[in-house]
Amino acid sequence: MQYFLDRIRIAVAEATRIPPDQIRVEQPRDREKGDFAVPCFVLAKMVKANPASYAEELAAKLRNDLIEMEVAAVGPFLNFRVERAELAKRTIETVLDSGTSFGSSDEGRTQRVLIDMSSPNIAKPMSVGHLRSTVIGAAIKRLFKFLGYETVGINHIGDWGSQFGKLVAAVRRWGAGVDLEQEPIKALLELYVRYHDEEPNDPALTEEARAAFRELESGVDGDVRAIWRRLTELSLTEFDKIYARLGVTFDLVRGEAYYETHLDRTVQRIVDTGITEESQGALIVDLESVKKGMPPCLLRKTDGTTLYATRDLAAVFERWELNHFERCLYVVGMDQRLHFQQLKAVLQRMDLFWEPRVVHVDFGMLRLPEGKMSTRKGRVVFLEDVLDRAVEEAQRIIVEKNPGLLDLELVAEQVGVGAVVFNDLKRERVKDIEFVWADVLSFEGETGPYVQYTHARLASILRKAKEGGEGATSPDWSAVGDAAQVLLALGRFPQVVRSAAEHAEPSEVTQYLLALCRETNSWYASTRVLGEAPPTSAARLALVASIEIVLATGLGLLGLAAPAEM
């Protein structure tokens, strides 16, 4: 693809004497218009010509140069249609030569991208929002890595705040009555709910909680801290189970508590820039000057305690100092938009040149059929249950379709979990998602299982070819001439990866894979691959192998497995 784009760009540049990097080559959506198109409005303007007649003039010149394509002027556009065998040979050879690294590059070399992702809160079940952050963040991280960037995935665990005083108080009072070891999150949830039930009638409880948090904040390494540490460890072990199923790892797991010792320094640093003020005993940064109506950022409360925002400021300073990042992405739900606007606004008021590199990668809500959660009331959905159910249903469907499958359990896990992940990445991330079981798991339509299934079918063709010794002949590329849409889609993959990373938008990859599957299935429905004349089968097998590679790579970038059979 890049080959044809370059050919066109250089030929047009030569004919117009306009530098190649200023020439835009598009891929028209409308297939009738050809494989590639160059709009001539801007080019014609540069030489003060009429766009349509200029296009005519250029077409005549280019025809001699670009012998492997048809060149036509249609209105103000130059349209190109590549000779089919040439398109097939170039595209397929490029994919097969690069193999699993097709689409990758080293353009990000020497640049560091930090991704703040997942970041659940200790002692609470991981929410659907944290799941989205994990899945979206991990996909973005893989995309950047594929492009050669050095990536640092950071889990900014919520392990600080006055609720930990409450929990410690609750553990001390009723901890003996719950099973913290077996099902820690459920046990902690029970304690949390009980605390909120009993607090209104028990002022002593409130006082115990306050005292516990005061001790925690004082840094004393005693009883309270030991309980807090245990809660943290128990929770992280639970979270790790989910991360393992999703195949997600972090380069740095660092809780908010870590920044406690940085806070004085952090606040001082901001005070030194002269932008802080006292307001009713609290220390704030006014942000009106950055954006009218933006509420101030509270750095320190009247009682001396710091806030979520203060800890995020401490974190971002340290991240910058240690990494000099190209970008620091925060994959966090849309409900925290104001928080990140304020964070950036403070950096802006401090005149830090790297402020634009700090980006809130926000996303919409995912609504489960079980309804809205409320931790305080104990009404929660356990993500593990969601994953378990997905795997169970996947298993049922697979048994029906392929009763003899050997690795049933493994494949069911890959398909079930993959379905949930794909569903999370399917639409633009800012859109809310309605989670509908039947839609998530369907083997047809816009789902993970559909892409995995398409991949598995291709893998099975390749297996059969190997068994039958087919595909070793030199290919007749004209035999895949009717697969132009598949070929063009394959060629587009590297651009899709680049664009998805740049926009931090994994849905560009999901949508691309769905389109590639649709094109592939419609080609395949009317084509025999195996058992044709050897050069014909060889060409079609080479195409099948190329699609298989791109589907597997794309699924991998999203965090889905690509089972060879299902």
Residues lying near ligand ARG in the complex (CB under 6 A): 116, 119, 121, 156, 158, 312, 330, 332
For tokens 């991280």, the residue is 141
For tokens 């699924």, the residue is 555
b/e code 399-432 from CB counts within 10 Å (16+ = b):
eeeeeebeebeebbbbbbbbbbbbbbbbbebeee
Q: Minimum Å distance from CB 258 to ligand ARG? A: 12
CB-count exposure of residue 32 (10 Å: 0-12, 13-18, 19+)? exposed
Q: Minimum Å distance from CB 332 to ligand ARG? A: 4
| Residue 379, phi then psi, degrees to nearest 5 | -95, 95
Q: Minimum Å distance from CB 147 to ligand ARG? A: 24
Helix (H) or strand (E) holding 331: strand 327-331
Q: Minimum Å distance from CB 330 to ligand ARG? A: 6
CB atoms under 10 Å from CB of 230, counted, come to 15
314 or 415, CB closer to ligand ARG? 314
Q: How many angstroms separate the CA atoms of 131 and 421, rounded?
A: 9
Q: Minimum Å distance from CB 157 to ligand ARG? A: 7
23 or 298, CB closer to ligand ARG? 298
Cβ atoms of 115 and 152 within 8 Å: the answer is yes
Q: Minimum Å distance from CB 124 to ligand ARG? A: 9
85 or 334, CB closer to ligand ARG? 334
34 or 161, CB closer to ligand ARG? 161
| Residue 17, phi then psi, degrees to nearest 5 | 65, 25
The residue at minimum Cβ distance from ligand ARG is 158
**Coil, helix or strand for 58?**
helix
333 or 559, CB closer to ligand ARG? 333
- Token pair, residue 448, equals 């993970």
Q: Minimum Å distance from CB 116 to ligand ARG? A: 5
Cβ atoms of 506 and 566 within 8 Å: the answer is no
CB-count exposure of residue 36 (10 Å: 0-12, 13-18, 19+)? buried
Q: Which of 254, 256, 240 is nearest to 154 (CA)?
A: 254
Q: Which of 80, 102, 104, 101 is nearest to 91 (CA)?
A: 102
CB atoms under 10 Å from CB of 533, counted, come to 10
1 or 315, CB closer to ligand ARG? 315
121 or 342, CB closer to ligand ARG? 121
Q: Minimum Å distance from CB 1 to ligand ARG? A: 38
119 or 342, CB closer to ligand ARG? 119
Q: Minimum Å distance from CB 314 to ligand ARG? A: 11
9 or 156, CB closer to ligand ARG? 156
Q: Which of 155, 120, 160, 330 is nearest to 260 (CA)?
A: 160
